[in-house]
A = this chain, B = another copy of it.
Amino acid sequence: MHALELTKPDGRRMTLYARAPLDAGLQAPSPFPDPLTGGAHLRWHVLRGEWVTYAAHRQGRTFLPPPEYNPLAPTTDPANPTEVPAGAWDIAVFENRFPSLGGVIAPPPELIVPTAPAEGRCEVVVFTQDREASLGSLPLSHIALLFEVLGDRTRRLAAEGSIHYVLPFENRGAEVGVTLHHPHGQLYAYPVVPPVPARMQQVAAEHFAAHGRGVLEQHIEAERREGTRMLYEGPHAVAFVPVCARYPYEVWVAPIRPVEGFASLDDAVRADLARALKTVLLKFDALWQRPLPYLMAWYQAPTDGQPHPESHLHAQIWPPYRTRDRLKYLAGTELAAGFFAMDALPEEKARELQQVEVHVA
């Protein structure tokens, strides 16, 4: 993998990645001529005991731009720059112009709750130059390259020291609020371990202390033994509808053996993980013969400088549909109590997805 580090005219950092060597003359464009302004800050939520970030400058950000303007497509007219240059690159990563974390770090206001500067980083990950592609339609080698890129990003962000957790995710589809349909994901680098990964780390650490093995590693063994919800079983990676799914079409994708994060994957595991993910995403889009929206999050070990033998890299993918034409809304019990209610059995939904045949080349 080759990487070229650039700086945009407005000061944001960008890295281009490719399998072939990159042209060192490539330049990073920006649709925004003026330098970065703004600056987010954190406020402590006194009842929930967690941080919330406030970036008031985000209000003016791009929303459902006209279809002719795609800021994630390569720049063709230098008078109308996009976020990425024309040229030979495979994957581009750049800092979000309207970050919830990072960017211009300003002193936080003094308030009646604790506040802090919103340190961290919000990056956009452009999966491909092809606006008509989707993550699942990309070649296996390209998906594996993306995993390598995510490992590189995690390693670089962790090296900044103030970053305690790196979460790569993809929001896909208008149903989950996505306004730019060019295939892309995001990467949030947090100055703390956020509440959900923190809880999962706690559960995993307690399990590891009690059993000497990882909770997800043992769960994958049990899912494979039972077999009824499996969608993909390769030599190094699996995909399945978990027995405890919180969304009807929820799927987990993971290496079979525990790996702390993308930066620790070897070539064979990375390639099989790409095949597991591609299998799932192709099944999703073939299920109803239309692109299935989803939220996909990749959980890794915290980047807090500690060893995390309890951590096990995996994706949780949450499509928002209950059936072909019914959305699952998160309401009272899910959002206010954190107690999820499902009206479908994971076994039934797994069967639906198992019956979708796809060709993974």
Contact = CB atoms under 8 A, between A and B. Distances in A.
Interface in A189-247: 190, 194-197, 199-200, 202-204, 215-216, 219, 222-223, 225-226, 243-246
A53 B188 contact: no
B222 A112 contact: yes
Interface size range of chain A in the complex: 35 or more
A45 B199 CA distance: 12
Contacts of A341: 52-53, 55, 58, 100
A36 interface: no
A332 B199 contact: no
A295 B200 contact: no
Contacts of A47: 200, 203-204, 215-216, 219
Interface in A318-333: 318, 322-323, 326-327, 329-333
A156 to B, nearest CB: 20
B244 A194 contact: no
A45 B339 contact: no
Q: Looking at chain A's contact residues, is the secondary structure mostly helix, strand, loop, or mixed?
A: mixed
A307 interface: no
A129 interface: no
Contacts of A111: 243
Given A177-B329, A188-B332, A332-B186, A49 B244 contact: no
A68 interface: no
Copies per assembly: 2
A128 to B, nearest CB: 19
Residue in A195, A226, A246, A331 whose Cβ sees the most chain B Cβ within 10 Å: A331
Contact of A194 (B169, B196, B337): B337
14 contacts: A45-B246, A46-B219, A48-B200, A54-B343, A55-B341, A58-B341, A167-B332, A169-B333, A176-B329, A194-B338, A199-B338, A295-B331, A297-B335, A299-B336
Closest 7 CB pairs of A and B: A177-B329, A297-B336, A58-B343, A195-B338, A169-B332, A100-B341, A194-B337
Given A46-B216, A59-B343, 16 more contacts: A46-B203, A46-B215, A47-B204, A49-B199, A51-B339, A54-B343, A54-B345, A54-B346, A113-B219, A171-B329, A171-B332, A177-B331, A188-B332, A188-B337, A190-B339, A330-B330
